[in-house]
Structure formats: C-alpha cells, structure tokens
Amino acid sequence: ADGGKLLVMPQDGSHWLSMHVVLEKLWEMGHEIVVVIPDATLLMKNSQSFTIKTYSVPYTQEFVERYY
C-alpha cells in the first residue's frame, strides 16, 4: 500500500485496544497518522507510531482513573 495521511478519532476502552494494533500496522506500511484524543483518557497513550493531539474535556485524569 502507498503511504497516506490518516486522522483518527477513536473511542477509549476496548475499541482503542483493537485500533492501536491496526494503527501500528498502518504506520509500518508508511502511513502518517494523527490521533485526536481527550486530555483525560483511560487507555490511550503516546506512541512512536503516531502523533497525538488532545482536546479539553470537563473531567480530569484523576476522575477517569478513580471511576473506571
């Protein structure tokens, strides 16, 4: 496949676990990936395979970790 640019806006949780594997493979194939995530998340973290852009949400990282 030819490398392309992808913009990804995933959901947190098990959806992210599956998508993260797909994004790693796409990166290996030459795609440039930007992932847009909230600034407080359960599982979504930085990776060398893609660029993270965050947006503000009305809850904190502490809240997410405590209640999930």
What is the pLDDT at residue 56? Answer: 96
Tell me whether strands 51-55 and 5-8 are parallel, antiparallel or unpaired.
unpaired
pTM of the model: 0.85
Number of domains in the chain: 1
Q: What is the pLDDT of residues 3-55, one digit of tens each?
A: 689 999 999 888 999 999 999 999 999 999 999 999 999 999 889 999 999 99
- Range of 17's domain? 5-67
